[in-house]
Chain A
Amino acid sequence: EIVLTQSPGTLSLSPGERATLSCRASQSVTSTYLAWYQQKPGQAPRLLIYGASNRATGIPDRFSGSGSGTDFTLTISRLEPEDFAVYYCQQYGSSPYTFGQGTKLEIK
């Protein structure tokens, strides 16, 4: 089973700042099979990034994804108030299709 470890667990930043979220895999993951999701309280997760670096439809260009192998990053260039949420990475290369434990992005 591929374990995805996200860091930090909690990130405290102010609107307008840059956020960098990390997702590290226990084994190499083909970048094709790495996605990021955003989840707000009481809501279902929403697709942000697929194939490690491709924004989903309607996702603002302040969100970007990068990485390969075992290290992947989600960057939010300038935080907006609506960006404060929990973010999960997921791999779909090897069953079980695991998620990271999440990074909570909170307002400082």
Chain B
Amino acid sequence: QVQLVQSGAEVKKPGASVKVSCKASGYTFTNYDINWVRQATGQGLEWMGWMNPTSGNTGYAQKFQGRVTMTSNTSISTAYMELSSLRSEDTAVYYCARKYDFWSGYAYLPCFDPWGQGTLVTVSS
């Protein structure tokens, strides 16, 4: 089945970087964009950006511009999200999600499906 499996929890010090991986299976990895979304404890969902595995093109939310880098290794069907200059406010669960476009017969209907299980990143001194 279509599945995204993420790397394990991380603990980082302020100012450090973290790199989270997201391994895809059950579909052709290069055919779909991967998006990244984060969720602080008890809070809502925050979209961070997207990456196209074929072209390497990316689009980042302005809030994360300059601090986030999204890449992939197509040979192992894995996407990566690296966040630098970490601060305590970056403590959150980070999710990857495949952007899927359903064809309605007259338009493509985009959505995120499926999602990875999430990776907890804790930033603490």
Determine the main DSSP class of B at the interface with A: strand
By the criterion CB–CB under 8 Å, are A99 and B109 in contact?
no
Interface assignment of B62: CB less than 8 Å from any CB of chain A:
yes
Query: Distance (Å) between the CB of A77 and the closest chain B CB?
Result: 22
Question: Hey, what's the 0/1 contact readout for B87-116 against A, CB within 8 Å counting as 1?
Answer: 000000001010000101001111111111
For chain A, the count of residues having a C-beta within 8 Å of the partner chain is: 23
Query: Distance (Å) between the CB of B79 and the closest chain A CB?
Result: 15
A-B contact pairs, 15 of them (CB 8 A): A32-B110, A35-B111, A44-B95, A45-B45, A46-B115, A47-B112, A51-B104, A51-B109, A51-B111, A56-B113, A90-B45, A95-B59, A96-B61, A99-B45, A102-B44
Q: Which residues of A contact B44 (CB under 8 A)?
A: 88, 99-102
By the criterion CB–CB under 8 Å, are A50 and B110 in contact?
yes
Q: Which residues of B contact A92 (CB under 8 A)?
A: 110-111
Contact of A54 among B37, B102, B117 (CB under 8 A): B102
